[in-house]
Each structure stands twice: as C-alpha cells, then as structure tokens.
Amino acid sequence: MAEPRKSSSPSPAPPFGSSPSSSPRPAISLQPSPKRPAFSKPTKLLRQIRAVFRTLPILSPACRIPLNGSRLHDGHVHGGTRITGTIFGYRKSRVNLAFQESPRCLPMLIMELAIPTGKLLQDMGVGLVRLALECEKRPSEKRKILDEPIWTLFCNGKKSGYGVRRDPSNEDLRIMQTLNAVSMGAGVIPAEETGEGDQLTYMRVDFERVTGSKDSETFYMINPDTNNGAELSIFLVRI
C-alpha cells in the first residue's frame, strides 16, 4: 500500500498590486533643510551709529544705466537667497508649487493653486506672470508667513481663486525624489513612475527668496536666458 504524500505548505501570496516583474520604487533619500543661524540683536553702540547715519542727507544721483527685466532677477539686485522651485501637476489639474533649499532637501513649502497646470505654463511662455497671494493678518497668532494655510490668489492682478498650503504627500515626495538629480529643466514624468493614469508635467528652476518682513516674502524666478523665456514672480503678503 502506497504511503500518503506529504503536502507542503503553500508559499505566501504576493502583496496586492505587486508583480514579480515590477521594479520597486526608489526609497526617499531627501534630507531636511539645514537650519539657518539665528540673527543676533544689534548692540547699543551699533544702534547709535545707525541713528547718526539716518540723520545724514540722502544723495540720489540719476542712474542712466538701463535695467531690463532679466537683470532684475540677478541675485545681487534683490539680495535674497537662492532656492530650488518646482512647478508640477497634471495639465488639466491644479498646479502645485514646491520650494526646497536644494533638490536633495525635503520641501519647505508646497502650495496648491486654483490654476490648471497647462494654463500657468502657457501664460509663462507668453510673458511675465505675477502671482500675488494675500491672507489676513492675525496678531494674536504667532505663525510664520510660510505656515499660513489658505491664501487669496491673484494672477496678474485678477482674482483667480485660492491657494492652499499642504504637507507633502507620499506622491509629492516620490516626485521630488524622482527629480532630485535635476537642478534645472522641464519635461514630463511617465505615468508608470507616478502611479497615475496621466503624465505629470514639471518645470524646475532656481528662485530667489527675498524676505521683506515677517508679513511679506517674495520668490523671483531666476531666468537662465537673459533675453527671453518664462518669467514668474510670487508675492506672499499678510494684510
């Protein structure tokens, strides 16, 4: 009489949505932004020297050197800090803005605007685009301007809905990780890499961040082409 066969335990089924041929997505290697040193308060002697200089007359010689639009985006004119900015989104969906200290850092600000991605990129290809985001000032709340949750959006002086600040999602981090080797450029990310059914359009350039006060910040796009090309300025103001 033949002995009964020993049944081997079945191998565990693969996780839902995975396949042996699918390549794993790269791990997130973005680093937190480096902390900036705190500014020390001026000493009493320095304040007295500043007070003396304020009493001196101001000479305003006529400047005859023409300044075109591209020179206004030179870091020496505004005196700000250079950061990385990424405009991304699906062409018919709302556009997203992400700002990083460098392409290898985690985003310090991600904002979703009520403007289709394709429309904003089309307008930037035609001429200068100015985005103004305003929110109400609340003295009782000790909140940094970049932490404000919702803004009223104006595009070239016309009210265009709202802008919303949000925390980076898993999809945002995957996109930033995919672009971490890109310092400047524009293109599309295939649907296979985004996990969605549509291609994602992106544009990455350097911006100059200028802090006017605790209630105002400006981001100027640094145009690598000094003659023509896309132009964008973003103003954040608490009123």
197 inside domain: yes
20 inside domain: no
DSSP symbols for 52-96 = HHHTSPPP-PPP-S---TTGGGSHHHH--EEEEEEEEE-TTSEEE
List of residues 6+ apart from 168 with CB closer than 8 A: 98, 106, 107, 110, 176
Q: Could you report the per-residue pLDDT of 63-91, keeping only the tens digit for each?
A: 333 334 434 444 444 568 999 999 999 99
Better-predicted residue by pLDDT, 26 or 126: 126
Q: Which two tokens stand for residue 164?
A: 């919303």
How confident is the model over 220-236, as a mean pLDDT?
78
Q: Judging by beta carbons within 10 Å of its beta carbon (0-12, 13-18, 19+), is residue 177 exposed, middle or buried?
A: middle
Handedness of CA 216, 114, 232, 191 (dihedral sign): positive
1 inside domain: no
27 inside domain: no
Q: Give the per-residue pLDDT at 10.
A: 46
Per the structure, the count of domains in the chain is 1
Angstrom distances, CA of residue 5 to CA of 2, 8, 12: 9, 9, 21
Closest among 136, 160, 170, 138 to 150, alpha carbons compared: 136
41 inside domain: no
The answer to whether residues 105 and 99 touch, using CB atoms and an 8 Å cutoff, is: no
pLDDT confidence bin for 226, thresholds 50/70/90: low
Q: Give the per-residue pLDDT at 145.
A: 95
Contacts 24+ apart (CB under 8 A), 140-146: 144/214, 145/214, 145/215, 145/216, 145/217, 145/236, 145/238, 146/108, 146/109, 146/217, 146/236
Element housing 155 (H / E)? strand 150-155
Amino acid residing at 237: V
Element housing 209 (H / E)? strand 200-213
Q: Could you report the per-residue pLDDT of 133-166, keeping only the tens digit for each?
A: 999 998 888 899 999 999 999 999 999 999 999 9
Q: Which two tokens stand for residue 198?
A: 């549509």
176 inside domain: yes
Structural domain containing residue 132: 67-238
180 inside domain: yes
- Look up the pTM and report it: 0.70
- How far apart CA 192 and CA 194 sit, in angstroms, is 6
Q: Is 145 helix (H, G, I), strand (E, B) or coil?
A: helix
Q: Give the per-residue pLDDT at 36.
A: 58
16 inside domain: no
The angle subtended at Cα 57 by Cα 68 and Cα 46, nearest 5°, is 95
Amino acid residing at 151: W
